[in-house]
């Protein structure tokens, strides 16, 4: 997970652990919902790359 930036980890944690919707995350971190969705998209991509680098079948 070291490959993920803090902001990427933040949106994934809020989405997957706290179960917040993208709109709720936007409200929580005081950012436009479009930014949150873009950030989540790139976070998932970064996660995929990180898993692949570590030999997991992403």
List of residues contacting another protein (CB under 8 A): 1, 4-10, 12-22, 28-32, 34-35, 37-42, 44-49, 51, 56-58
Residue 53 beta carbon to another protein: minimum distance, rounded to whole angstroms: 10
Residue 36 beta carbon to another protein: minimum distance, rounded to whole angstroms: 9
**If residue 37 lies in a helix (H) or strand (E), which one and from where to where?**
helix 33-53
Residue 45 beta carbon to another protein: minimum distance, rounded to whole angstroms: 6
């Amino acid at each position: 997970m070291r490959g993920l930036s803090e902001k990427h980890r933040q949106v994934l944690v809020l989405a997957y652990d706290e179960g917040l919707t993208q709109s709720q995350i936007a409200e929580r971190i005081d950012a436009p919902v479009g930014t949150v969705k873009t950030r989540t998209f790139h976070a998932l991509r970064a996660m995929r790359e990180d898993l692949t680098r570590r030999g997991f079948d992403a």
